[in-house]
Amino acid sequence: MNEQTEKPRFYVCSYGGCGSTMLTNILRAHGPAHHIHDRNPPRELCLPDGEHFGNTVDPNPDLARVVFIYSRPEYSQATSCAWGLVHWRNIGVKHPNTIVQDRKKYAEQNTDRIGLEEFFNNYFEHRTRNYRIIFVNYHELWRYEMEFFRMLGVRGQLPPLRENPNRVIHKMSCFDGFNAKIDSLPPLFVK
Cα–Cα nearest to 17, from 67, 80, 66:
80
CA angle 40, 66, 62 (to 5 degrees): 115
Q: What is the mean pLDDT of the chain?
A: 94
Does position 2 have pLDDT exceeding 80, yes or no?
no
116-124 vs 176-184: helix crossing angle, rounded to 10: 30
Domain contains 20 = yes
CA angle 55, 93, 26 (to 5 degrees): 65
Q: pLDDT tens-digit profile of 156-166?
A: 999 998 877 78
Domain contains 2 = no
Any idea of the CA torsion for 12, 86, 120, 69, to the nearest 10 degrees? 30
Cα–Cα nearest to 53, from 69, 68, 41:
41
Does position 155 have pLDDT exceeding 70, yes or no?
yes
Q: pLDDT tens-digit profile of 173-182?
A: 999 999 999 9
Domain contains 50 = yes
Domain assignment of residue 67, given as a range:
9-190
CA distance linking residue 22 with residue 110, whole number of Å? 29
Give the global pTM.
Answer: 0.94
pLDDT of residue 1: 44
Q: pLDDT tens-digit profile of 30-72?
A: 999 999 999 999 999 999 999 999 999 999 999 999 999 999 9
Q: pLDDT tens-digit profile of 84-97?
A: 999 999 999 999 99
Number of domains making up the chain: 1
